[in-house]
Amino acid sequence: MESMKNLMGRLVREEDGAAASEYAILVAVIAALIAVAVQQFNLGGIFKAAADKVIALIG
């Protein structure tokens, strides 16, 4: 976990522009963390319930 903090700190501090590959890696890590959070905390049910309510309001 410490290496992730170092990576994030370097990305923020670097004065050079980050390469597209660095942004792609960052996006992939964030997407993976979101997927794990949705699965671990059963957030899929919350999103489904919200979507069902929106559909009911529209329809």
More confident residue, 59 or 29: 29
- Confidence band of 56 (pLDDT split at 50, 70, 90): very high
**Which pLDDT does position 44 carry in this prediction?**
75
pLDDT above 80: residue 32: yes
Helix (H, G, I), strand (E, B) or coil at 16: coil
Work out the mean pLDDT of the chain and round it to a whole number.
Answer: 83
The pTM assigned to this predicted structure is 0.48
Q: What mean pLDDT comes out for the span 10-23?
A: 73
User: What does the DSSP assignment read for 21-55?
Assistant: HHHHHHHHHHHHHHHHHHHHTTHHHHHHHHHHHHH
